[in-house]
Structure 1
Amino acid sequence: MKHGVLAILPLALGAAIYGFAFGLLAAQVGFPWWGVGLMSSVVHAGSSQIVAVEQFASTQAVMGAVLAGAALNLRYIGIVASLSKVLAGLSPGLKLLAIHITGDENWALTMAERAKSPDVGAAFLMGSGVVMITAWTTSTTAGAVIGTVLPDLERFGLGFAFTAAFIAMAQSLWRGRSQMLPWAIAVAATIVVINLGLPKAYAIVVGAVCGLAMSFILRRSAGAMI
Protein backbone atom coordinates (compact mmCIF):
# COMPACT_ATOMS: atom_id res chain seq x y z
CA MET A 1 0.00 0.00 0.00
CA LYS A 2 2.87 2.39 0.79
CA HIS A 3 4.17 1.94 -2.77
CA GLY A 4 0.83 3.10 -4.17
CA VAL A 5 0.66 6.07 -1.79
CA LEU A 6 4.08 7.36 -2.83
CA ALA A 7 3.70 6.65 -6.56
CA ILE A 8 0.43 8.59 -6.90
CA LEU A 9 1.58 11.77 -5.11
CA PRO A 10 2.53 13.75 -8.27
CA LEU A 11 -0.82 12.95 -9.88
CA ALA A 12 -2.65 13.79 -6.65
CA LEU A 13 -1.00 17.20 -6.58
CA GLY A 14 -2.19 17.94 -10.11
CA ALA A 15 -5.71 16.79 -9.27
CA ALA A 16 -5.74 18.99 -6.17
CA ILE A 17 -4.93 22.08 -8.24
CA TYR A 18 -7.84 21.75 -10.65
CA GLY A 19 -9.99 20.39 -7.81
CA PHE A 20 -9.47 23.67 -5.97
CA ALA A 21 -10.48 25.63 -9.07
CA PHE A 22 -13.53 23.41 -9.48
CA GLY A 23 -14.55 24.05 -5.86
CA LEU A 24 -14.20 27.81 -6.30
CA LEU A 25 -16.46 27.94 -9.33
CA ALA A 26 -18.96 25.38 -8.05
CA ALA A 27 -19.53 27.52 -4.98
CA GLN A 28 -20.04 30.59 -7.14
CA VAL A 29 -22.80 28.98 -9.19
CA GLY A 30 -24.76 28.16 -6.08
CA PHE A 31 -23.43 24.92 -4.63
CA PRO A 32 -22.89 25.03 -0.84
CA TRP A 33 -19.36 24.19 0.26
CA TRP A 34 -20.54 21.11 2.12
CA GLY A 35 -22.44 19.95 -0.98
CA VAL A 36 -19.26 20.19 -3.05
CA GLY A 37 -17.35 18.15 -0.47
CA LEU A 38 -20.11 15.58 -0.21
CA MET A 39 -20.31 15.22 -4.00
CA SER A 40 -16.53 14.78 -4.24
CA SER A 41 -16.47 12.04 -1.61
CA VAL A 42 -19.56 10.20 -2.87
CA VAL A 43 -19.25 10.64 -6.64
CA HIS A 44 -15.44 10.90 -6.79
CA ALA A 45 -15.27 11.53 -10.53
CA GLY A 46 -13.83 14.87 -11.55
CA SER A 47 -14.99 15.00 -15.16
CA SER A 48 -18.59 14.05 -14.36
CA GLN A 49 -18.71 16.51 -11.45
CA ILE A 50 -17.47 19.35 -13.64
CA VAL A 51 -20.01 18.61 -16.36
CA ALA A 52 -22.84 18.15 -13.84
CA VAL A 53 -22.11 21.47 -12.10
CA GLU A 54 -21.72 23.31 -15.41
CA GLN A 55 -25.00 21.83 -16.64
CA PHE A 56 -26.77 22.78 -13.43
CA ALA A 57 -25.35 26.32 -13.58
CA SER A 58 -26.63 26.90 -17.11
CA THR A 59 -30.05 25.23 -16.87
CA GLN A 60 -30.81 24.66 -13.15
CA ALA A 61 -32.04 21.22 -14.28
CA VAL A 62 -31.06 18.68 -11.65
CA MET A 63 -31.98 15.65 -13.77
CA GLY A 64 -30.05 17.00 -16.73
CA ALA A 65 -26.98 17.49 -14.54
CA VAL A 66 -27.32 13.95 -13.17
CA LEU A 67 -27.67 12.45 -16.66
CA ALA A 68 -24.67 14.37 -17.97
CA GLY A 69 -22.49 13.23 -15.08
CA ALA A 70 -23.71 9.65 -15.26
CA ALA A 71 -22.98 9.45 -18.99
CA LEU A 72 -19.33 10.30 -18.44
CA ASN A 73 -19.08 7.65 -15.76
CA LEU A 74 -20.13 4.87 -18.12
CA ARG A 75 -16.45 4.26 -18.80
CA TYR A 76 -16.12 2.85 -15.29
CA ILE A 77 -17.96 -0.25 -16.43
CA GLY A 78 -14.88 -1.19 -18.42
CA ILE A 79 -12.49 0.00 -15.72
CA VAL A 80 -14.16 -2.12 -13.05
CA ALA A 81 -14.21 -5.13 -15.37
CA SER A 82 -10.46 -4.78 -15.89
CA LEU A 83 -9.90 -4.98 -12.13
CA SER A 84 -11.35 -8.47 -11.71
CA LYS A 85 -7.92 -10.11 -11.28
CA VAL A 86 -6.55 -7.26 -9.19
CA LEU A 87 -9.39 -7.51 -6.68
CA ALA A 88 -9.58 -11.30 -6.60
CA GLY A 89 -9.48 -12.64 -3.06
CA LEU A 90 -10.83 -9.52 -1.37
CA SER A 91 -14.04 -9.60 0.63
CA PRO A 92 -17.14 -8.06 -1.02
CA GLY A 93 -16.90 -5.04 1.27
CA LEU A 94 -13.27 -4.36 0.39
CA LYS A 95 -14.03 -4.82 -3.29
CA LEU A 96 -16.76 -2.18 -3.12
CA LEU A 97 -14.43 0.18 -1.27
CA ALA A 98 -11.65 -0.39 -3.80
CA ILE A 99 -14.03 0.26 -6.68
CA HIS A 100 -15.29 3.47 -5.07
CA ILE A 101 -11.84 4.95 -4.56
CA THR A 102 -10.69 3.96 -8.05
CA GLY A 103 -10.35 6.88 -10.42
CA ASP A 104 -8.78 7.34 -13.83
CA GLU A 105 -5.39 8.26 -12.38
CA ASN A 106 -4.84 5.49 -9.87
CA TRP A 107 -6.39 2.88 -12.17
CA ALA A 108 -4.05 3.83 -15.02
CA LEU A 109 -1.06 3.91 -12.67
CA THR A 110 -1.96 0.52 -11.20
CA MET A 111 -2.31 -1.06 -14.64
CA ALA A 112 1.02 0.43 -15.75
CA GLU A 113 2.82 -0.83 -12.64
CA ARG A 114 1.13 -4.21 -12.91
CA ALA A 115 2.42 -4.55 -16.47
CA LYS A 116 5.95 -4.19 -15.08
CA SER A 117 5.38 -6.45 -12.08
CA PRO A 118 2.45 -8.89 -11.73
CA ASP A 119 2.84 -8.66 -7.94
CA VAL A 120 1.30 -5.17 -7.99
CA GLY A 121 -2.34 -5.58 -6.99
CA ALA A 122 -5.13 -4.47 -4.69
CA ALA A 123 -2.86 -2.94 -2.04
CA PHE A 124 -1.29 -0.60 -4.62
CA LEU A 125 -4.69 0.29 -6.08
CA MET A 126 -6.22 1.06 -2.69
CA GLY A 127 -3.21 2.96 -1.37
CA SER A 128 -3.14 5.23 -4.40
CA GLY A 129 -6.94 5.47 -4.36
CA VAL A 130 -7.05 6.68 -0.76
CA VAL A 131 -4.57 9.44 -1.60
CA MET A 132 -6.52 10.51 -4.69
CA ILE A 133 -9.96 10.67 -3.05
CA THR A 134 -8.50 12.51 -0.06
CA ALA A 135 -6.70 15.05 -2.24
CA TRP A 136 -9.74 15.56 -4.45
CA THR A 137 -12.28 15.92 -1.64
CA THR A 138 -10.05 18.19 0.42
CA SER A 139 -9.11 20.48 -2.48
CA THR A 140 -12.64 20.84 -3.85
CA THR A 141 -14.05 21.54 -0.40
CA ALA A 142 -11.34 24.11 0.33
CA GLY A 143 -12.01 25.78 -3.00
CA ALA A 144 -15.73 25.89 -2.31
CA VAL A 145 -15.23 27.42 1.15
CA ILE A 146 -13.03 30.17 -0.30
CA GLY A 147 -15.31 30.59 -3.31
CA THR A 148 -18.21 31.66 -1.10
CA VAL A 149 -16.36 34.81 0.03
CA LEU A 150 -14.59 35.80 -3.19
CA PRO A 151 -16.01 38.14 -5.87
CA ASP A 152 -17.49 36.80 -9.10
CA LEU A 153 -14.57 34.95 -10.68
CA GLU A 154 -16.31 34.76 -14.06
CA ARG A 155 -15.37 38.42 -14.56
CA PHE A 156 -11.71 37.38 -14.56
CA GLY A 157 -12.25 34.61 -17.09
CA LEU A 158 -11.75 31.84 -14.56
CA GLY A 159 -14.95 30.16 -15.66
CA PHE A 160 -12.81 28.55 -18.34
CA ALA A 161 -11.27 26.43 -15.58
CA PHE A 162 -14.21 24.03 -16.00
CA THR A 163 -13.45 23.55 -19.67
CA ALA A 164 -9.67 23.47 -19.18
CA ALA A 165 -9.89 20.84 -16.45
CA PHE A 166 -12.19 18.70 -18.55
CA ILE A 167 -9.88 18.94 -21.57
CA ALA A 168 -6.93 17.90 -19.40
CA MET A 169 -8.82 14.87 -18.07
CA ALA A 170 -10.06 13.92 -21.53
CA GLN A 171 -6.49 14.04 -22.84
CA SER A 172 -5.38 11.70 -20.06
CA LEU A 173 -7.94 9.15 -21.25
CA TRP A 174 -6.50 9.05 -24.78
CA ARG A 175 -4.85 5.71 -25.49
CA GLY A 176 -3.69 6.18 -29.09
CA ARG A 177 -4.97 6.13 -32.66
CA SER A 178 -6.85 2.89 -32.13
CA GLN A 179 -9.42 4.97 -30.24
CA MET A 180 -9.81 7.55 -32.99
CA LEU A 181 -13.04 6.14 -34.45
CA PRO A 182 -14.98 5.82 -31.15
CA TRP A 183 -13.95 9.33 -30.14
CA ALA A 184 -14.92 10.71 -33.57
CA ILE A 185 -18.31 8.97 -33.40
CA ALA A 186 -18.91 10.35 -29.89
CA VAL A 187 -18.03 13.89 -30.98
CA ALA A 188 -20.16 13.70 -34.12
CA ALA A 189 -23.19 12.33 -32.25
CA THR A 190 -22.86 15.04 -29.61
CA ILE A 191 -22.70 17.80 -32.22
CA VAL A 192 -25.75 16.42 -34.06
CA VAL A 193 -27.85 16.33 -30.89
CA ILE A 194 -26.83 19.89 -29.94
CA ASN A 195 -27.67 21.14 -33.44
CA LEU A 196 -31.11 19.55 -33.11
CA GLY A 197 -31.72 21.90 -30.20
CA LEU A 198 -31.91 19.23 -27.50
CA PRO A 199 -30.47 19.84 -23.99
CA LYS A 200 -26.69 19.48 -23.75
CA ALA A 201 -27.09 16.80 -21.09
CA TYR A 202 -28.80 14.56 -23.65
CA ALA A 203 -26.06 15.33 -26.17
CA ILE A 204 -23.44 14.10 -23.70
CA VAL A 205 -25.42 10.94 -22.99
CA VAL A 206 -25.93 10.17 -26.69
CA GLY A 207 -22.30 10.90 -27.53
CA ALA A 208 -21.02 8.69 -24.72
CA VAL A 209 -23.32 5.81 -25.64
CA CYS A 210 -22.42 6.02 -29.35
CA GLY A 211 -18.71 6.13 -28.58
CA LEU A 212 -18.97 3.14 -26.25
CA ALA A 213 -21.04 1.23 -28.80
CA MET A 214 -18.42 1.79 -31.50
CA SER A 215 -15.64 0.77 -29.11
CA PHE A 216 -17.55 -2.43 -28.31
CA ILE A 217 -18.05 -3.19 -32.02
CA LEU A 218 -14.35 -2.70 -32.74
CA ARG A 219 -13.35 -4.96 -29.84
CA ARG A 220 -15.73 -7.68 -30.99
CA SER A 221 -14.41 -7.41 -34.53
CA ALA A 222 -10.81 -7.62 -33.35
CA GLY A 223 -11.69 -10.66 -31.24
CA ALA A 224 -13.38 -12.37 -34.17
CA MET A 225 -10.29 -11.96 -36.34
CA ILE A 226 -7.98 -13.63 -33.80
Structure 2
Amino acid sequence: MNKLLIALVAALSFSGLVQAQGNIEAGKAKSVTCAACHGADGNSPSDLYPKLAGQHATYLIKQLQEFKSGERADPIMMGMAAVLSEQDMQDLAAFYASNAATPETAAPEIAAAGQKLYMGGSGDDKMTACSACHGPRGNGLELAKFPKISSQYPAYIKTQLINFRSKARANDPNGMMSDVAAKLSDAEIELLSKYIAALH
Protein backbone atom coordinates (compact mmCIF):
# COMPACT_ATOMS: atom_id res chain seq x y z
CA MET A 1 0.00 0.00 0.00
CA ASN A 2 2.82 2.38 0.84
CA LYS A 3 4.47 1.72 -2.54
CA LEU A 4 1.21 2.51 -4.32
CA LEU A 5 0.85 5.79 -2.41
CA ILE A 6 4.45 6.77 -3.16
CA ALA A 7 3.93 5.99 -6.85
CA LEU A 8 0.73 8.07 -6.93
CA VAL A 9 2.37 11.09 -5.30
CA ALA A 10 5.32 10.80 -7.69
CA ALA A 11 2.98 10.66 -10.68
CA LEU A 12 1.01 13.68 -9.49
CA SER A 13 4.20 15.62 -8.81
CA PHE A 14 5.50 14.83 -12.28
CA SER A 15 2.23 16.00 -13.83
CA GLY A 16 2.38 19.31 -11.96
CA LEU A 17 -0.69 18.58 -9.82
CA VAL A 18 1.38 18.48 -6.63
CA GLN A 19 3.96 21.19 -6.03
CA ALA A 20 6.71 21.48 -3.48
CA GLN A 21 5.69 23.61 -0.53
CA GLY A 22 7.36 26.91 0.14
CA ASN A 23 8.82 27.79 3.52
CA ILE A 24 7.39 31.00 4.98
CA GLU A 25 10.40 31.82 7.16
CA ALA A 26 12.80 31.18 4.30
CA GLY A 27 10.65 33.35 2.07
CA LYS A 28 10.69 36.16 4.62
CA ALA A 29 14.49 36.11 4.66
CA LYS A 30 14.67 36.06 0.87
CA SER A 31 12.13 38.89 0.53
CA VAL A 32 14.59 41.50 1.85
CA THR A 33 15.66 42.30 -1.72
CA CYS A 34 11.99 42.74 -2.73
CA ALA A 35 11.06 45.10 0.11
CA ALA A 36 12.11 48.36 -1.55
CA CYS A 37 9.30 48.03 -4.11
CA HIS A 38 6.86 45.62 -2.45
CA GLY A 39 7.22 46.52 1.23
CA ALA A 40 8.47 44.39 4.10
CA ASP A 41 5.24 42.36 4.26
CA GLY A 42 4.16 42.61 0.62
CA ASN A 43 2.17 45.84 1.02
CA SER A 44 3.98 48.09 -1.41
CA PRO A 45 4.69 51.66 -0.24
CA SER A 46 3.90 52.93 -3.77
CA ASP A 47 0.95 52.28 -6.07
CA LEU A 48 3.43 51.90 -8.93
CA TYR A 49 4.06 48.38 -7.64
CA PRO A 50 1.50 45.71 -6.74
CA LYS A 51 0.67 44.54 -3.27
CA LEU A 52 1.81 40.93 -3.00
CA ALA A 53 0.44 40.37 0.50
CA GLY A 54 -2.43 37.89 0.53
CA GLN A 55 -1.97 36.90 -3.11
CA HIS A 56 -2.35 33.21 -3.99
CA ALA A 57 0.98 31.41 -3.89
CA THR A 58 0.32 29.59 -7.17
CA TYR A 59 -0.31 32.88 -8.95
CA LEU A 60 2.85 34.48 -7.54
CA ILE A 61 4.91 31.48 -8.62
CA LYS A 62 3.42 31.64 -12.12
CA GLN A 63 4.31 35.34 -12.45
CA LEU A 64 7.87 34.80 -11.22
CA GLN A 65 8.34 31.89 -13.62
CA GLU A 66 7.06 34.00 -16.50
CA PHE A 67 9.25 36.98 -15.59
CA LYS A 68 12.21 34.61 -15.56
CA SER A 69 11.30 33.05 -18.93
CA GLY A 70 10.47 36.42 -20.50
CA GLU A 71 6.85 35.46 -21.14
CA ARG A 72 5.87 38.45 -18.99
CA ALA A 73 8.00 41.47 -19.75
CA ASP A 74 9.14 43.97 -17.14
CA PRO A 75 12.75 45.19 -17.03
CA ILE A 76 12.99 45.28 -13.24
CA MET A 77 11.18 42.02 -12.50
CA MET A 78 12.88 40.08 -15.28
CA GLY A 79 16.23 40.94 -13.69
CA MET A 80 15.03 40.06 -10.19
CA ALA A 81 13.49 36.75 -11.25
CA ALA A 82 16.49 35.70 -13.36
CA VAL A 83 18.46 34.67 -10.28
CA LEU A 84 15.63 32.86 -8.48
CA SER A 85 15.47 29.08 -8.22
CA GLU A 86 12.16 27.23 -8.17
CA GLN A 87 12.53 26.82 -4.40
CA ASP A 88 13.17 30.57 -4.01
CA MET A 89 9.91 31.22 -5.86
CA GLN A 90 8.03 28.73 -3.68
CA ASP A 91 9.42 30.30 -0.49
CA LEU A 92 8.71 33.89 -1.55
CA ALA A 93 5.19 32.98 -2.64
CA ALA A 94 4.49 31.21 0.67
CA PHE A 95 5.68 34.25 2.62
CA TYR A 96 3.63 36.80 0.71
CA ALA A 97 0.53 34.59 0.67
CA SER A 98 0.73 34.32 4.48
CA ASN A 99 0.35 38.09 4.96
CA ALA A 100 -2.76 40.27 4.68
CA ALA A 101 -3.19 43.07 2.17
CA THR A 102 -4.07 46.51 3.50
CA PRO A 103 -7.65 47.44 2.53
CA GLU A 104 -8.68 50.10 0.03
CA THR A 105 -11.93 52.08 0.00
CA ALA A 106 -14.27 53.52 -2.64
CA ALA A 107 -16.95 56.21 -2.57
CA PRO A 108 -20.59 54.93 -2.45
CA GLU A 109 -21.31 56.08 -6.01
CA ILE A 110 -18.28 54.16 -7.29
CA ALA A 111 -19.41 51.05 -5.40
CA ALA A 112 -22.91 51.16 -6.91
CA ALA A 113 -21.83 51.71 -10.51
CA GLY A 114 -18.80 49.42 -10.28
CA GLN A 115 -20.78 46.54 -8.83
CA LYS A 116 -23.11 46.45 -11.82
CA LEU A 117 -20.23 46.14 -14.29
CA TYR A 118 -18.12 43.80 -12.13
CA MET A 119 -20.94 41.42 -11.26
CA GLY A 120 -22.98 41.56 -14.46
CA GLY A 121 -20.59 42.45 -17.24
CA SER A 122 -21.78 44.52 -20.16
CA GLY A 123 -24.78 43.32 -22.13
CA ASP A 124 -24.10 45.62 -25.08
CA ASP A 125 -20.79 44.13 -26.11
CA LYS A 126 -21.16 40.80 -24.29
CA MET A 127 -18.30 41.44 -21.86
CA THR A 128 -17.99 38.63 -19.33
CA ALA A 129 -18.55 39.59 -15.70
CA CYS A 130 -15.29 39.96 -13.77
CA SER A 131 -16.83 37.95 -10.93
CA ALA A 132 -16.97 34.85 -13.16
CA CYS A 133 -13.22 34.32 -12.65
CA HIS A 134 -12.32 36.57 -9.74
CA GLY A 135 -15.34 35.83 -7.54
CA PRO A 136 -17.88 38.18 -5.96
CA ARG A 137 -15.35 39.51 -3.44
CA GLY A 138 -12.38 39.63 -5.82
CA ASN A 139 -10.63 36.71 -4.14
CA GLY A 140 -9.83 34.86 -7.36
CA LEU A 141 -9.44 31.10 -7.66
CA GLU A 142 -6.09 29.64 -6.63
CA LEU A 143 -6.40 26.28 -8.39
CA ALA A 144 -7.03 28.04 -11.70
CA LYS A 145 -4.32 30.63 -10.93
CA PHE A 146 -6.86 33.47 -11.15
CA PRO A 147 -5.42 36.17 -8.88
CA LYS A 148 -6.88 37.87 -5.88
CA ILE A 149 -7.54 41.41 -7.07
CA SER A 150 -9.35 42.93 -4.10
CA SER A 151 -7.39 45.36 -1.89
CA GLN A 152 -4.95 45.99 -4.75
CA TYR A 153 -4.04 49.61 -5.54
CA PRO A 154 -6.55 51.15 -8.00
CA ALA A 155 -3.69 52.67 -10.02
CA TYR A 156 -2.03 49.28 -10.42
CA ILE A 157 -5.28 47.59 -11.48
CA LYS A 158 -5.86 50.38 -14.00
CA THR A 159 -2.38 49.98 -15.47
CA GLN A 160 -2.79 46.23 -15.87
CA LEU A 161 -6.19 46.56 -17.55
CA ILE A 162 -4.75 49.11 -19.98
CA ASN A 163 -1.79 46.81 -20.64
CA PHE A 164 -4.06 43.83 -21.28
CA ARG A 165 -6.22 45.96 -23.60
CA SER A 166 -3.21 47.08 -25.64
CA LYS A 167 -1.63 43.60 -25.39
CA ALA A 168 1.47 45.11 -23.81
CA ARG A 169 0.80 42.40 -21.23
CA ALA A 170 -0.09 39.05 -22.74
CA ASN A 171 0.61 36.33 -20.18
CA ASP A 172 -3.07 35.66 -19.50
CA PRO A 173 -4.32 32.11 -20.20
CA ASN A 174 -5.89 31.89 -23.67
CA GLY A 175 -5.95 35.69 -23.94
CA MET A 176 -8.90 35.87 -21.53
CA MET A 177 -7.95 39.19 -19.96
CA SER A 178 -7.02 40.75 -23.28
CA ASP A 179 -10.45 39.82 -24.66
CA VAL A 180 -12.25 41.33 -21.66
CA ALA A 181 -10.10 44.48 -21.48
CA ALA A 182 -10.49 45.10 -25.22
CA LYS A 183 -14.19 45.77 -24.58
CA LEU A 184 -13.58 48.29 -21.78
CA SER A 185 -13.61 52.04 -22.28
CA ASP A 186 -11.22 54.30 -20.36
CA ALA A 187 -14.12 55.30 -18.09
CA GLU A 188 -15.02 51.67 -17.39
CA ILE A 189 -11.41 50.83 -16.57
CA GLU A 190 -11.27 53.76 -14.15
CA LEU A 191 -14.53 52.65 -12.52
CA LEU A 192 -13.58 48.99 -12.23
CA SER A 193 -10.13 49.81 -10.85
CA LYS A 194 -11.61 51.79 -7.97
CA TYR A 195 -14.41 49.30 -7.31
CA ILE A 196 -12.23 46.18 -7.39
CA ALA A 197 -9.67 47.70 -5.03
CA ALA A 198 -12.35 48.24 -2.38
CA LEU A 199 -13.65 44.66 -2.44
CA HIS A 200 -12.83 42.74 0.75
TM superposition score category, shorter chain reference: under 0.3
The structure whose residues are more often helix, as a share, is 1
| TM-score w.r.t. length of structure 2 | 0.25
| TM-score w.r.t. length of structure 1 | 0.23
Higher relative contact order (CA 8 A, sep 6+): 1
